[in-house]
Structure 1
Amino acid sequence: MPDSLEQETVSAQEAPEFAAAQFVRWFREVAPYVHAFRGKTFVVAFGGELVQANVLNTLVQDLSLLSALGIKLVLVHGSRPQVNEQLRLKGFSQQFDRGRSPMDADALECAKEAAGEIRLDIEAAFSQGLPNTPMSHAQIRVISGNFVTARPTGIIDGVDYKHTGQVRKIDVEALRSSIDRGSIVLLSPLGFSPTGEAFNLAMEELATSVATALRAEKLIFLTESPGVISEDGSVDTELARLDADALLASGSVDSDTAFYLQFASRAVKRGVTRAHLIPFSMDGVVLLEIFTHDGVGTMVVEDTLDDLRPATIDDVGAILQLIEPLEQDGTLVPRGRAVIERDVENFTVLEHDGVIYGCATLHDFPKDQMAEMGCLIVHPEWQGTGEGEILLRHMESRARGHGAKRLFVLTTRTSHWFIKRGFVQGGVADLPKEKQAHYNRSRNSLIFIKRL
């Protein structure tokens, strides 16, 4: 049996222990995200299509978990299909699609009914507390109210939009007061003018306005679309805002995705840290997007989150976590915290969304115009997608910037990886004199050198 299959085979006797280890490992890995997002504000927006698809209860369970973890939540729901159904039942021919359309008084009444029905369904879902369910012991207050002041869209190109409105003002102080007390705020796609008139609002515009006003950490759109699809058919999990705008301008994105992508880009441009498009058809999609490294949908940021940067003293603990497993299995020479702290300025770390998952160190030998790269590590969960090569290219660039003509590494187990990337095997005599004096012959490390 091939080694790769043998490693993945788990006997019936080992299964409980394997499952327990997997659970412990997962729980530890999500801890950095829990720390990073506690106390932050998320605006979660979804259309009436999600309610139609009967996934509201599972979404509410996952949102309750986020609330229990200290994340502040504002929910914005849509009701377009429900409004259309109300219009059909009452014999009206008008139907609404995405985008802004005129709404007369009859359609507004249908919008009120639909919004009220969905709001009650959401409040009922959050009130569940059945034993042996994710809602057990959950005591969540859901608050709705007149947090949104609206204005009429008015007449555009000769068309009177009547009761279709736009956001004029968000009562930020009242919203913050509610979510700071631990309540979840629920907003329907309706706003009210100072004269007491009601106006129908686009859910997407309302969610974007609220996230912007609150300077939210995340704006999350749950959509029917899987996200932005790359040329190879996979989901593009991260887009810089300028790249998102370029895609929209090119017209290469399908209309459903493009509709939400424009609001995601707008929110990020106005100060929201991250905006996400995720498919509501995937079970647990909110948790997967927030608590896994790459997520499952498309995230728009002002700039990409993967960040190579010099390490600081605050990174020592994270670097040790990366290094210690390799020290224990003999891949790396044990260093200890004191050595890492002393040499921390030589380290570069690879960070994503506040989580350090890769590192490498560079030591210069200027007299010999050489540099040594060491501790090139990428966390196992994130290997295989090019992060190691990103670190290597960066360290090569650093070495060249320091005047080095050659870069060398010492390794006992990863020789093929370096050979594939242009390194050639050398000997102890090829090392700088200073390094030769400290070469550990008992480890018998292989020496690989690359011309820069």
Structure 2
Amino acid sequence: MTSVFNFTFVPWFRSVAPYIHKFRNQTFVVGIAGEAIAAGKLPHLAQDLAMIQSMGVRIVLVHGFRPQVNEQLRAKGHTPKYSHGIRITDEVALDCAQEAAGQLRYEIEAAFSQGLPNTPMADSTVRVISGNFITARPVGIVDGIDFQHSGLVRKVDIAGISKTLDMGALLLLSPFGFSPTGEAFNLTMEEVATSVATELQADKLIFVTEVPGIRIDPLAPAGEDNPIDTELPLATAEKLLATLPAASVPTDIGFYLQHCVKACKNGVERSHIIPFAVDGSILLEVYVHDGIGTMVVDEKLESLREATEDDVGGILQLIEPFEKDGTLVKRSRTEIERDAGLYTVIEHDGVIFACAALYAYPEARTAEMAALTVSPQVQGQGDGERVLKRVEQRAKAAGLDSIFVLTTRTTHWFLKRGFVLVDPDWLPEARKRKYNWDRKSQVLVKKLG
């Protein structure tokens, strides 16, 4: 049993470690829907956020309270009222919102104080600080409807928030703001989280919600043939929003997406929509390559580029398993350091997921593509084709007529992509002298148009 655990734990921890390093000292703004707390998810969410903070992430937590306020209203015999996707906050609703906010702040602070043995928060100390960091203004009268005590964010006290985070505390914000005259306004969690993330220029805005994310076909039923779209470029997300009806309730497809788009357009590179129904969803989204929900990104996170000396360690880690099983010929660190500039890599959040090297033989107007490798984590997603295309472009730019590969196990992959089998005697003389006849690698060539 121990050996099985080691076998699974070690590679898992190695895969997570680059993200732990990358996110240290970054700032995450996390908006938790009130529905998540009503569903009893607060204890595990607090444990996960405490773990993330312990790994050096600065966290601003904004809680929602929509169902809690509605429950208080119904208990007092009042019906919740909404328009334009915003609560109409009369005096009774304002009292209910203040009561709900106070109760939730108490519950959240208690959840972060549970340093229980045998839990992720054992021996942890999470200082939770909240305060009047949001200045608000009234929504006013819109289309003849008086929203009364409902408000919009006017200003965020970034200096105060930054000082709190610098102290190592977790900042907790309720969806309330105050005017310069001391009047209280009921805000929405989504607007507060988006405004704070934008003003802070946070590294991530994360909504933990009742929806699982945006599906490949947002208007079609859920299913295996319509999975969650884990990464939406900002331009694609904007086009999608333009095709959707106006979102007024959280279950509308565009409700959280509109806030993600707004944040990304204003400098937050990554915004996420993840489900609270999945235990550990924040950890799965932040520390696993593909995540679990939908991430809207200001630019494609994957970078296809030429390697540098800083990538040598990542290349070695990527190709080592394939060298051990005989798929690739063993290469030393010295050799890869020497040839780093010849490699093309796909890098995602500081991790190398694919690579290939191009060794030119100008006298024969050809080049060898060597060490083409794609991480098992992303195989089948087209990274091999992307690297191949870039290598072909580099060969063309060098004035070469063809590229060739030597392989013992992936012949059919190359045949499907325009390569043809040739005899090893076809190889340039300099490469033929290094050909390992015992390995019996097949030689495949592709003409460059």
TM bracket, shorter-chain basis: over 0.9
Task: Write the distance in 2 (CA, Å) between the matches of 1:102 and 1:93.
Answer: 11
Report the CA distance between 1:396 and its aligned residue: 2.2
Task: Write the distance in 2 (CA, Å) between the matches of 1:367 and 1:230.
Answer: 49
Which of 188, 191, 194 is the equivalent residue of 2:177?
A: 191
SS in structure 1 of the partner of residue 370 of structure 2: strand
Task: Write the distance in 2 (CA, Å) between the matches of 1:55 and 1:449.
Answer: 57
Query: What's 1:423 paired with?
Result: 419
Query: What's 1:10 paired with?
Result: none
Identify the range of structure 1 (338-347 vs 156-165) with the bigger mean alpha-carbon deviation: 156-165
Which of 377, 386, 389 is the equivalent residue of 1:390?
A: 386
Query: What's 1:9 paired with?
Result: none
Report the CA distance between 1:423 and its aligned residue: 1.8
Query: What's 2:433 paired with?
Result: 437
2:9 is the alignment partner of 1:16: no
Report the CA distance between 1:389 and its aligned residue: 2.0
Report the CA distance between 1:440 and its aligned residue: 2.7
Q: Which runs of 5+ in 1 are unaligned?
A: 1-14
Which of 221, 236, 247 is the equivalent residue of 1:243?
A: 236
Report the CA distance between 1:205 and its aligned residue: 0.6
Contact 1:411 1:446 in 2 (8 A): yes
Task: Write the distance in 1 (CA, Å) between the matches of 2:278 and 2:176.
Answer: 28
TM-score, length basis structure 1: 0.93
Report the CA distance between 1:333 and its aligned residue: 2.5
Task: Write the distance in 2 (CA, Å) between the matches of 1:199 and 1:107.
Answer: 11
Task: Write the distance in 2 (CA, Å) between the matches of 1:170 and 1:94.
Answer: 28
Task: Write the distance in 1 (CA, Å) between the matches of 2:377 and 2:240.
Answer: 30
Which of 154, 161, 174 is the equivalent residue of 1:168?
A: 154
Query: What's 1:137 paired with?
Result: 123
Report the CA distance between 1:439 and its aligned residue: 2.2
Query: What's 2:221 paired with?
Result: none
Query: What's 1:219 paired with?
Result: 205
Contact 1:247 1:253 in 2 (8 A): no
Identify the range of structure 1 (359-368 vs 118-127) with the bigger mean alpha-carbon deviation: 359-368
Contact 1:87 1:95 in 2 (8 A): no
Identify the range of structure 1 (433-442 vs 128-137) with the bigger mean alpha-carbon deviation: 433-442
Map 1:318-397 to 2 at 5 A: 318-397=314-393
Report the CA distance between 1:96 and its aligned residue: 4.2
SS in structure 1 of the partner of residue 229 of structure 2: coil
Q: Percent identity?
A: 55
Report the CA distance between 1:220 and its aligned residue: 0.2
Task: Write the distance in 2 (CA, Å) between the matches of 1:24 and 1:436.
Answer: 40
Task: Write the distance in 2 (CA, Å) between the matches of 1:62 and 1:168.
Answer: 31
Task: Write the distance in 2 (CA, Å) between the matches of 1:351 and 1:97.
Answer: 45
2:41 is the alignment partner of 1:49: no
Query: What's 1:127 paired with?
Result: 113
Contact 2:33 2:210 in 1 (8 A): no
Count of paired positions: 438
Task: Write the letter of the residue equivalent to 1:236.
Answer: D
Report the CA distance between 1:382 and its aligned residue: 2.1
Task: Write the letter of the residue equivalent to 1:66.
Answer: I
Task: Write the letter of the residue equivalent to 1:171.
Answer: D
Contact 2:82 2:88 in 1 (8 A): no
Query: What's 1:11 paired with?
Result: none
Q: Which runs of 5+ in 2 are unaligned?
A: 218-224
SS in structure 2 of the partner of residue 51 of structure 1: helix
Report the CA distance between 1:364 and its aligned residue: 2.1
Task: Write the distance in 1 (CA, Å) between the matches of 2:414 and 2:192.
Answer: 52
* Cα RMSD after superposing both structures: 1.7
Task: Write the distance in 2 (CA, Å) between the matches of 1:62 and 1:111.
Answer: 27
Map 1:84-163 to 2 at 5 A: 84-96=70-82, 99-163=85-149
Report the CA distance between 1:131 and its aligned residue: 1.3
Task: Write the letter of the residue equivalent to 2:394.
Answer: R
Task: Write the distance in 2 (CA, Å) between the matches of 1:101 and 1:70.
Answer: 37
Task: Write the distance in 2 (CA, Å) between the matches of 1:98 and 1:320.
Answer: 55
Report the CA distance between 1:320 and its aligned residue: 1.3
Task: Write the distance in 2 (CA, Å) between the matches of 1:22 and 1:185.
Answer: 35
Identify the range of structure 1 (73-82 vs 319-328) with the bigger mean alpha-carbon deviation: 319-328
Contact 2:149 2:185 in 1 (8 A): yes
SS in structure 1 of the partner of residue 136 of structure 2: strand
Task: Write the distance in 2 (CA, Å) between the matches of 1:191 and 1:235.
Answer: 34
Query: What's 2:279 paired with?
Result: 283
The structure-2 alpha-carbon separation of the partners of 1:149 and 1:349, relative to structure 1 and needing over 3 Å to count, comes to same
Task: Write the letter of the residue equivalent to 1:417.
Answer: W
Contact 2:80 2:87 in 1 (8 A): no
Which of 402, 406, 409 is the equivalent residue of 2:398?
A: 402
Which of 307, 311, 336 is the equivalent residue of 1:311?
A: 307
SS in structure 1 of the partner of residue 125 of structure 2: coil
Task: Write the distance in 2 (CA, Å) between the matches of 1:419 and 1:213.
Answer: 52
Task: Write the distance in 2 (CA, Å) between the matches of 1:29 and 1:420.
Answer: 31
Identify the range of structure 1 (203-212 vs 399-408) with the bigger mean alpha-carbon deviation: 399-408
